[in-house]
Amino acid sequence: MIQDVLFYLFAFMTLLSAVLVVANPVSRNPVTSAMFLVLTILFMAGLFVQLHAFFLAAVQILVYAGAVIVLFLFVIMLLDLKEEQSRRIGKLGSVLGLVSVGVVFVLFNRALSGLPAKVPGATGQPSLEGLTAPLGHALFKQYLLPFEILSVLLLVAMVGVILLSKKDLR
Amino acid sequence: MTSIGLGHYLVVSAALFCIGLFGVVTRRSLLVIYMSLELMLNAANLALVAMSRFNGNLDGQIMVFFTITVAAAEVSVGLAMIVALCRKRRSAHVEDLTTLKL
């Protein structure tokens, strides 16, 4: 079916570009990592569309692929980072990293293997349509207070960033 | 109907989280570590959206909305800190940041 094919395509491409963000065999340039992060986010928005979360897919592309990546690229070009290309990753570090990641993955695996019996609706057909209107209703009625607190948080972040990037930081 | 269930999405989410964790542990550039953190946040978002869809409950999507906003704020503050650090130390490399070392 077309939906299955689309799911596997998007999932595979998401994971592939995520691997290329983290461990690119060709280039260790941060700009390459940022570009593959854009790809990861776009394919993940595709997965969101598969899950019928259309609004979140749009927000994902707008906020991540738009704002966050532009910020990353600005900082990369501001700082002119080239050093990591010359330094190599230690063997001990990557082995330890692989071990810790393996442990976490085993934990996830054990959690997932017990899944279908426990979670309601895990085997049944999906029932929810994440359209924009019910999301907006929930956001502005049930979750109005967190929403407003979030706006205060954004203000705090803005003030903090301006303060942090002053020239004479004390 | 499609045969893709909740488990498929959760496996993708777990794999993505592990990739991000591997990046955080092994890479040495602060910016790439930040990107790996974003990957891990995205993995959590995917799990939340999948749970929300398959349980017929919209709360997970609201949570993801909030997570995306907080992540944007976090990235802006973190990158400002990296810029300030680079101005002071001339390096964005975790091995050069050893002020707290005994």
CATH number, domain of A47, equals 1.20.120.1200
Is CATH 1.10.287.3510 the right assignment for the domain spanning B6-100?
yes
Amino acid at A157: A
Place of tokens 């293997």: A113
Range from A26-40, A94-108, A114-128, B15-29 carrying the lowest mean pLDDT: A114-128
d(CA B94, CA A83): 11
Model confidence at A123, pLDDT cuts 50, 70, 90, reads very low
Q: Which two tokens stand for residue B102?
A: 């005994």
Considering only the beta carbons, identify the residue of A48, A108, A121 that sits closest to B14: A108
Q: C-alpha angle with apex A157: B35 to A165, nearest 5 degrees?
A: 80
Q: Which two tokens stand for residue A114?
A: 């017990």
Cβ contact A83:B93 at 8 Å: yes
State mean pLDDT over A70-89.
Answer: 75
**Position A169 pLDDT exceeds 60:** no
Query: Is A43 a domain residue?
Result: yes
**How distant is the alpha carbon of residue A78 from its chain centre?**
23
The ranges assigned to domains in chain B are 6-100
Considering only the beta carbons, identify the residue of A22, A108, A130 that sits closest to B61: A130
State mean pLDDT over B4-22.
Answer: 88
Q: Do A63 and B25 touch (CB under 8 A)?
A: no
Collapsing DSSP states into helix, strand and coil, what is residue B93? strand
Mean pLDDT of chain B: 87
Find which of A68, A104, A109, A155 to mutate to test the B interface (most B CBs within 10 Å of its CB). Answer: A68
Model confidence at A137, pLDDT cuts 50, 70, 90, reads confident
Q: C-alpha angle with apex A13: A9 to A19, nearest 5 degrees?
A: 150
Place of tokens 């299955």: A4
Query: Is A91 a domain residue?
Result: no
State mean pLDDT over A28-45.
Answer: 91
Alpha helices in chain A (DSSP H): 2-22, 30-50, 54-59, 69-79, 83-86, 91-113, 115-118, 132-137, 144-164
Work out the end-to-end distance of chain B between its first and last CA atoms, rounded to an integer number of angstroms. 61
State mean pLDDT over A132-150.
Answer: 89
User: Is the ipTM, as predicted for this complex, more than 0.85?
Assistant: yes
Model confidence at A96, pLDDT cuts 50, 70, 90, reads confident
Chain B residue with the nearest C-alpha to that of A144 = B62
What is the reported pLDDT for A164? 86
Query: Is A94 a domain residue?
Result: no
What is the reported pLDDT for B67? 92
Cβ contact A69:A60 at 8 Å: no
Q: Do B53 and A47 touch (CB under 8 A)?
A: no
Chain A nearest C-alpha distance from B88 (Å): 9
Size of interface A-B (CB pairs under 8 A): 243
Question: What are the φ/ψ torsions at residue A143 (nearest 5 degrees)?
Answer: -110, 35
Number of domains into which chain A is organized: 1
What is the reported pLDDT for B2? 63
What proportion of chain A, given as a percentage, has pLDDT over 90? 34
Query: Is A30 a domain residue?
Result: yes
What is the reported pLDDT for A109? 83
**Position A122 pLDDT exceeds 50:** no
Long-range pairs, A141-148, Cβ under 8 A, ≥24: A143/B62, A146/B66
Mean pLDDT of chain A: 83
Residues of chain A with Cβ-Cβ distance to B69 below 8 Å are 63, 150, 153-154
Q: C-alpha angle with apex B47: A40 to B77, nearest 5 degrees?
A: 60
Choose among A33, A120, A78: nearest CA to B32: A33
Considering only the beta carbons, identify the residue of B2, B66, B82 that sits closest to A3: B2
The pLDDT tens digits for B57-69 are 888 889 999 999 9
Model confidence at B8, pLDDT cuts 50, 70, 90, reads confident
Residues of chain A with Cβ-Cβ distance to B5 below 8 Å are 116, 122-123
What is the reported pLDDT for B60? 87
Q: Which domain holds residue A152?
A: 2-86+130-165
State mean pLDDT over A119-124.
Answer: 50
Chain A nearest C-alpha distance from B99 (Å): 16
Residues of chain A with Cβ-Cβ distance to B49 below 8 Å are 48, 51, 53, 56, 130
